Amino acid sequence: MTSLSFSAPVDGLHHLSNETRVIATPWSRMVRGIGLGQHPVAYDAEAAARIRHTFDLLSAKGADSSAYTRFSRLLAHFVLDVADPDRHLRRSDLEQGLVPILDAVRAEANPYFRVMAGCILMDAFAKLGLDRALLVNAETDFPAEILAVADTIEPDRIKDENAGRHGHYEKLSAYSAVFLAFGQLGLRDRLVVGRRNHVREALGLLERIPAPFFRGRGGSMLLSVISVLGYERFISGEGRDYRKEVLSYLDRADELSLPPAFPQPMSESFPKVYPLLTMLNAIAMSDRPEEYLTHGRDRLAEAKELMGRITPVERTHMGLYYIIALHNLGRLHEQVPDLDALVEDIVGQWVHIDPGANYFLHGISYAYIVQTALLTGRLALIDGKTLDRLVDGFPDLDRTDDDRINRPYPFAYALNVLGEVGCSHLLFEPRDAYGGATPIAWVIDRLSEGGREEHRLYMLNHALVSYALRLRGPRWAETPLFKNFRFPRPNDRGADRHGR
């Protein structure tokens, strides 16, 4: 059994940064690329070498033929060079290093991925404390360039099991990333001053997303970002209230009959609780949370009921969303009087879950289990058997073509969370389950040539870039945008009797 030595970057809910409270779950980071690099730690040369080694393996597999992977590799190297205390980069070095990164962003043919890459780059600049004049100067205006690309994202272009249900979901998600990046660079006023008010336009996209699930999940992040930017007046102060409209639309899910499809069968309550919990977090950031919590129905009672109706493995996914939203609302102790029992139940499900059974429902559940233990300050609940089962489960995803092609999805989640708890080395050491190979080498070696079949390979790129950004050091722990934001309600310190 693996011998554990955790390195926890946080010690419970009351030590979470505002960025983590807003973007707590791995879905936003791994799938959408926002909020990367949370929980910064001191530069670690061994960790940096692992990141570079992984990109070398991807390059050897031909993945650099993808502009997105090429961008991610170049950005990760750039970040590591900036973070390395033994390197002293001059401005000319930064300018020179930036050129191929910008070229790779502009070479990405898919406009959504081009926007996502551009936003990750801008966010990285803010987190590294770099001069934004490298991106905004007499020769170039990179933020404006990326904002313009968002205009070109067309509806219903996502090719997955929900084709036709998305509408402008992808464009809405892109605007969330763009707005956040502009805020990180101190350029938020650009969004609302001048010929166009991009915040109003983005809010107008909400009603052009037909499925309640996607309107709630995507809309909640947009609403949260707008709140962080300080533009609450556009959400509820101009004759409409977009939060209430989204909540009312979620209530019509049965009537509209546009349920999302998932890779594995899910309970009837799962697609209802997921967007509701994300909306609860958006409500926690509003200036009138009590008004929204009772709009149409008692939203906390509804959330508790739905959480009780989903399956145990689904609860491993949703538990973290539920805990963070209640914590941000200051209602955790009221709604969950025994947080220990809830977390122990969520973490204890690993005994019953085979992470190699499928790539989604079971495959990412362990990452959520570990993340929940980390953020609630209860890593002592995780033992070596849990991590052994997580790390050794990926060969089983050869069971079906769908699981094999999507293996980068759960692997990215695993790399991300293992890095956050100081156990990423488990993926870089030889293991019996991989015939003596390292998990990282084994997984990458089994990609299709160039990673062309694996349409979710970009998530592994996000995990690697996020890992690199974490090595920037604690002094860059939080940008002014998040540091200056205040949640309207104080958190409930009675929620955790251990003071975590």
Over residues 321-341, the pLDDT tens digits come to 999 999 999 999 999 999 999
Q: How far apart are CA 340 and CA 25, in angstroms?
A: 20
Query: Considering Cα of 430, then 433, then 435, then 438, what sign does the dihedral take?
Result: negative
pLDDT tens-digit profile of 37-47? 999 999 999 99
> 384-391 and 365-375 are packed helices; what angle lies between their axes, rounded to 10 degrees?
140
Question: Is 496 a residue whose pLDDT tops 60?
Answer: no
pLDDT band, residue 222 (cuts 50/70/90): very high
Question: Is 84 a residue whose pLDDT tops 70?
Answer: yes
Question: For 96-116, what is the mean pLDDT?
Answer: 98
Burial, 251: exposed, middle or buried (Cβ in 10 Å; 0-12, 13-18, 19+)? Answer: middle
Q: How far apart are CA 215 and CA 203, in angstroms?
A: 11
pLDDT band, residue 2 (cuts 50/70/90): confident
- Total residue length of the chain: 500
Q: For the chain, what percent of residues have pLDDT higher than 70?
A: 95
Question: Is 479 a residue whose pLDDT tops 80?
Answer: yes
Question: For 469-478, what is the mean pLDDT?
Answer: 92
Burial, 342: exposed, middle or buried (Cβ in 10 Å; 0-12, 13-18, 19+)? Answer: buried
Question: For 358-380, what is the mean pLDDT?
Answer: 97
| pTM of the predicted protein model | 0.96
Question: For 179-186, what is the mean pLDDT?
Answer: 98
Question: For 430-440, what is the mean pLDDT?
Answer: 98
User: Cβ–Cβ contacts within 10 Å for residue 441, how many?
Assistant: 17
Q: How far apart are CA 391 and CA 477, in angstroms?
A: 29
* Averaged pLDDT of the chain: 95
End-to-end, the C-alpha distance of the chain in Å comes to 29
pLDDT band, residue 499 (cuts 50/70/90): very low
Question: For 247-264, what is the mean pLDDT?
Answer: 95
Question: For 357-376, what is the mean pLDDT?
Answer: 98
pLDDT tens-digit profile of 128-148? 999 999 999 999 999 999 999
Torsion, CA 166, CA 170, CA 176, CA 177, rounded to 10: 150
Would you say 80 and 52 are in contact if contact means Cβ atoms under 8 Å apart?
Answer: yes
pLDDT of residue 477: 85
Q: For the chain, what percent of residues have pLDDT higher than 90?
A: 90
Q: What is the DSSP string of 214-229?
A: HHHHHHHHHHHHHHHH
pLDDT of residue 164: 66
Question: Is 246 a residue whose pLDDT tops 70?
Answer: yes
Question: Is 498 a residue whose pLDDT tops 50?
Answer: no
pLDDT of residue 159: 66
3-state class of 387 per DSSP? Answer: helix
In angstroms, what CA-CA distances link 462 with 19, 44, 477? 17, 19, 19
The lowest-confidence range among 257-261, 298-302, 425-429 is 257-261
Question: Is 381 a residue whose pLDDT tops 70?
Answer: yes
3-state class of 141 per DSSP? Answer: strand
- Amino acid identity at 203: L
